[in-house]
Structures are given as structure tokens and as C-alpha cells.
Structure 1
Amino acid sequence: MDFTRFLPSLKLRTQLCAGADGRKMTADAVLDDWPRSSGTMANLIRQFDWSASPIGEIPRWPGPLRTAIDVMLSSGFLASVAWGPDLIVFYNDEMAGILDDHHPRLFGQPLLASLPPDRSAVYVDHLARVRRGETVVIDTMHYPRQSNGQSSDAWLSARYLPLRDESGDVAGMMILASDITARKRQEERLAGLYGELQHRTRNLMGVVRSMFEKSLETAPDLPAFAETFRSRLMALARVQGLLAQLDEGDRITFDALLRAELSSLEASASDGPGPRVTLRGPSGIRLRSATVQTFALALHELASNAARHGALSQAAGRLAVDWRLDHRPEGAFLVVDWQETGVSVPPPATAGYGRELIERALPYQLDATSRLTFTPEGITCRIELPLREPVRR
């Protein structure tokens, strides 16, 4: 932010003002209603008892100080002036709004003596440089706020500028700042999103690689591999589509994930599960983002197996999925019961990708408990998924 365009040359400017009768007015008369700006802080400058202050009453103030205060009051920035050996403090309405509990106690007082030690220490180095005639530029400055006993964090972009008296010596400083808290939080949010994107991308590539290897390993021929691998990629794509639709802070719910997967099957209606599928459970159970990809693939393996070999592959077959939220001493769990009936599915001779995913990957990656059973009536599967972050030992 370029603040310098708001600063005219802060030199002594002597002005003679004409009264209504054309006579020249004295300086004291001109300063009776100075500063002419409106606002709370301009009124406070006019009404404050300066007689006991080291800088004295307003008529004694040097021109550069009055000019600096005029600029401060009209700048529109968070602005303050510190003047004289004691650095007597002035500030505008905008700065008063961010000073919180320091306002109005700080006004008209020596800067360093009026601030807590940890806050005054921040200014010591800046003051030394300003007194040497330097302009100190701080693009991002942490500013701890304290209001009515409540603490919060703010960030400012600030400029510390030397103010010179009539002889050209540095007699004070002006601080012009802007509140960049919203921008800083947006940058932090974007950095977090970028880190999350990198994490998810690495995970996704690992999942795709594992799917490719397992699909290739168990496929009897290349066309079968292509079909299986394509369906698993589509399951991942559906999850990514659900994630992309979320607002910040939202999470995918289990019922939305389940319905998206079942709706993709040919045996289901276009707007949701078909008449041979029964879904029973509460809506809105939110899943941890880290669990969604693996959990979705497990649901896909169950659903695709039901469509190819299980309950949804025959007219007499039925599928019921029941779920509930189970509160336990160690936290909340999502309990899912997948029950196929009306068709007999013999156990496979070897554990394929789907079975390995359900029986091994879910417990290892998600701290879930899973049990897959092949019965004369069809497949049953119970998954108990923790909804809190797992504690690794």
C-alpha cells in the first residue's frame, strides 16, 4: 500500500485568515476551532486539557505538528502521530477502533510509558530508525487485540514516517496502517487448502496405483481388467465430485455417499436406489474427509459385487442397508449393516481387491472394524467406522 501520496510536505505553513470585516485574525483566533475535521478524535483534540502536557496548549504547537494531525485525521487509514521527546500520542477515529482497551487511555500520553512492556518493545527499534530519518515499512505485522477481556489476533500493514520540525530535525513520527486481517486469513486458508490438495492428490495417486495393480492381478483377461478398473475409477470420480460440491468446512454425509454409489448401478432407478434396495438410517452423518475415498471404494466393491454376482444380479435378490450412529466412551461410530438376501453367493477361492479392501484396508487405514460373511442367503457385511480422528500409538 502506497501511503506517501497522502503526505504533503510537513513544513511550517503560516496562514493569515481574514475576518468578516476584512481585518487579519490572530493565530490564536484561527486555532480556536482547530482542527476543523469532524469526528470523535477531532473533538477530543479540541476539548482535551493540554495545559499540563509537555507539548502545551494548541496555540503553542508548531506548524508541522498541526499539519501532521490534519493529515492524520483526514487520511482514512489507521493513523496516529507521536510528537516530541515524550512521543505524545494522537490518533484518528479509525485507529481508535482498533486500539480497543487502550482507547482513550493512550490519547495525549507518552507512547512508550503508556503501553505494556511487550507492546512498547515493538516500537523501540522502529523509533530508533525513524529518529535517524528512515521510513520503516512493515508489510505484515501481528497485532494482538484485547477488548473487554477477550483476546483476538489482527494483522496490519504499516508505515512509520519521520516528522520534522521547523529546523528540519526529526521531532516525531506518523504511523499509517491498514488492517489486512481478512487478507491474512484468506492467505492462510488458501495455504491450508493447497496443503490439503497436495495431501489428497498423493493419497489419490496411491489409491489409483493400488487399484490398478490389484485389478490387473485378479483380472482373467484384458477386457475384464478394463471393465473393472474403469468402474473403480468412476467410483473415485463420484467421490471427487461430491467433495468438489462442498462449501468450506462441510463434509460428505454417509447417506449421500451411499445413494451416489447405489444410483450408479444399472439395477437402480435414475433418481436413487431401485425397489429391490431398502435404505434405513439417519441422514446427515458427516464423514471425516480423510476416510471418504477408502470408504467409498469399499461401498463400491460391495455394490458392484451385488450387481454382478449378488442380490442385485437376480430378480429374487434383495439388498438392505441399515446404519446408525453409535455413541461409545471412545467416541462416535458409524455402524453400517449390509445385508443381501434371496441369492446364494459362494465364498471366492481367493481374496480379491474388494475383500482385501474391506477386511484389511478399512481396519488399517481408518481404524474401522469390518466383518464380511458369505451365507446361503447372500453376503452380509458390518462396518463400524470411527468418526473422530484415530489416535496412533
Structure 2
Amino acid sequence: MPGVDGTLDWVLILAPYRRDAEYLRTLLDEHEVTVRLAAGSEELASRLNETPGVLVVTHEALNEAVLAIIAKHLAEQPDWSEMPIIVLLDRAAPQARMRTELSSVWPRTRQIFYQRPVGTLELLSGIQSALLSRLRQRDVRDHIERETELRRELNHRVKNILASVTAIFRMTQRTSTTTEKLVDDFSGRLDALSAVHSAVFEAGGETADLADIIKRTCSPYCGDGEDRIIAEGPSIQVGRDPGTTIALCLHELATNALKYGALSVPGGRVHLKWDVDSESEPALTIRWIETGGPLVAEPSKPGYGTRYIRSALRGIFGSPPEIIFDPNGLRCIVAGPLSRFR
């Protein structure tokens, strides 16, 4: 019964008298069950450390030293483990007394008793059943390990999300002059953050498609079913952190366009395009171009949104964006190595 990692699918036999060990090994070999033998107590202790799937032992071998070695191994098993023990009894052995004594020495263990001579099929079926039970235990172990790792990952992600929310709140608080503005700006930025996490979660990994992130971030600004923001570009996988930064910057641009730019009038449009060149080191370029809106004039002093966009995009692209206050519409163009977004 081969297992995935080969550590729990073999039988350890302690039968040092007569020819019991050889008989059992021959029987199990014929049915492709891996067998290892222990000749005495020292070898038994060493073999148990290799984590057998099932222990088969004849009652003649159960002296005080062997009982203690097995008891120690059982006591030190991990929580998921319960190694089955098959005991082969002679016809003349005091079965009731031995069961009671072994249950006392090895409490809460799975013990299976066979009286010799035992039928071949009966013994083989019992050993295979015990091995199958052992494999189920390994499945439980793997499940516990996965659950533990998932809890660690969840804890890590929750901490990161809370840190992001705190940073967004402080950023919003510094620029909000009224409670209403604080609520509106903070809610919008949280929506942008949520869009990225949803995209990454549904993608099933630590990256998401840039097109999906952009669509989720910009969809609240496409009112009345119209494509006010026309987004075009290839499928590109980006990491959670750069994806979050891009989403927040797009939110700032869209909010500005809704208040003062192309999205503030019915005929205005935003053309959002991204592409990757085919040079030796591919670069990602993102272009935000507004048309059909009010005339644009460069402000005498850059606002917080502009400062944030410049700083944030420089951080992930490696160079600052080009923000152009063209009279026909605001333009924001940024480019950087694609490798920075993995």
C-alpha cells in the first residue's frame, strides 16, 4: 500500500522466535506490502523512530524492555497519530489477562489480537485494514497542517489589511476639511482597496490580472451604464502591493475627473490604456488621458491627490509619472520595468 511520501505505509515485525518473522515477511511481500524486521529491543527502538504504519508483534517477544520501548513510542506520538498494534497469540496464551495487561501498559491504543494459527486471508485483511486506517490518520495530519498554515496566512493578511486601512485613514484625515469629505474620500479609497483584494482572492493566489483590478476600481465612476472610462490593455499579472497602489492612484484620478475633469460633464471621457513593450527588459506603461471635459489649467500649487499619485507611482514604477495639465484634458503617463510588478 504505497503512500505519498512512503513514511507510513510499511509494517514493522518483531517476532524473534521460530520462523514467524520470515513467514510474515513472505506473506506480505507477496501482496506488495513493505516489511521491516526488528530482531530485538534495540533494533525495535530504532525502527520505531522511522515511524512504521503498523507494528506486528508475537506475544513471546513482549518482555518488560519491549513493553517499555513501545509504550514510550506511543506516548511520544503526535496528536494525529495512533499506530495500530497487531499481537499474535499462541493458542495456550492467557488471552484475557494479556489484553488487560497490554491495555494498562499501552492505554488508549488500537490493539488487534489474532490467535495462531491464523488464517492467511484473515491476517492479511487485518494488516491491510490497519494500514488503511494509518493512511487516513496521515490525511488528518495533512489537513491539520494545512489549517495551521492557513490560519497563519490569514493572520498575516489581516494585519496587512488593517495597516493599509489605518494608513489610508490617516492620509484622508490630513486632507479632509469636513466630516462629509472625510467619509466620502475614505469610503472611496476603501472601495479601491477592496477591489484589489477581491481580484487577488478570486484569482486564487498572490497576483491578479491588471485588467480586472482596473475594471473593479473604475466601475463606480461609469455612471448610467455608459463607458465613461474606456480601459484597454493586455492581460498582465501584478502582485497584491503594486496592484493596490495602482488602484488607489486610479481612484484619485477618477475622483478628480468626477469633480473637475472629464467625468464632471456628460460628454467627457477617460481613455485608460496600458501596454508592455517587447524590449530585452519589458516595461509596463499606463496612460490616463481625459477628453471632452472643461478646460484644464495647471494649479498654482499641487493638491494632495497629485502629490500622492507622484509619490506612490514613483515607488512602484521606479520613476515619477508625467502629469500634464493639457487644456483639452488631464494626462497622466507612467512607465517602469514589468519585473517590479511581480
1:32-47 maps to which residues of 2 (within 5 A)? none
Shift of 1:82: 0.9
1:227-376 maps to which residues of 2 (within 5 A)? 227-244=184-201, 246=202, 248-249=204-205, 251-265=207-221, 267-270=222-225, 274-282=226-234, 284-326=235-277, 329=280, 333-343=283-293, 344-364=295-315, 366=316, 368-376=318-326
CA distance in 2, matches of 1:81, 1:261: 61
- 1:208 and 2:165 matched: yes
CA distance in 1, matches of 2:159, 2:83: 42
- 1:161 and 2:85 matched: yes
> Given the two structures, how large is their TM-score scaled by the length of structure 2?
0.63
CA distance in 2, matches of 1:369, 1:92: 72
Return the letter of the residue paired with 1:202. Answer: K
**Is the 8 Å Cα contact of residues 78 and 92 (structure 1) preserved in structure 2?**
no
- 1:131 and 2:66 matched: yes
SS at match of 2:83: strand
Shift of 1:275: 4.0
Shift of 1:333: 4.6
CA distance in 1, matches of 2:197, 2:161: 10
Shift of 1:288: 1.4
> Given the two structures, how large is their TM-score scaled by the length of structure 1?
0.56
**Is the 8 Å Cα contact of residues 284 and 336 (structure 2) preserved in structure 1?**
yes
RMSD: 4.4
**Is the 8 Å Cα contact of residues 288 and 387 (structure 1) preserved in structure 2?**
no
SS at match of 1:287: strand
CA distance in 2, matches of 1:132, 1:316: 88
1:122 corresponding residue in structure 2: 49
Shift of 1:165: 5.3
Q: Which runs of 5+ in 1 are unaligned?
A: 1-39, 41-76, 98-102, 113-118, 142-155
CA distance in 1, matches of 2:324, 2:248: 20
CA 1:90–1:298: 2 relative to 1, 3 Å: farther
CA distance in 2, matches of 1:184, 1:240: 30
Percent identity, aligned pairs only? 22
Structure number with the higher helix fraction is: 2
CA 1:162–1:184: 2 relative to 1, 3 Å: closer
Shift of 1:264: 0.3
2:183 corresponding residue in structure 1: 226
Moved over 6 A (4+): 124-130, 167-170
Shift of 1:316: 4.5
CA distance in 2, matches of 1:348, 1:79: 77
SS at match of 2:274: strand
| CA displacement, residues 135-169 of structure 1 (integer Å, 9 cap, x when unaligned) | 4336559xxxxxxxxxxxxxx84516374654689
| Equivalent residue pairs, number | 279
CA distance in 2, matches of 1:82, 1:303: 73
Return the match for 1:199 from 147, 156, 174: 156
CA distance in 2, matches of 1:322, 1:305: 18
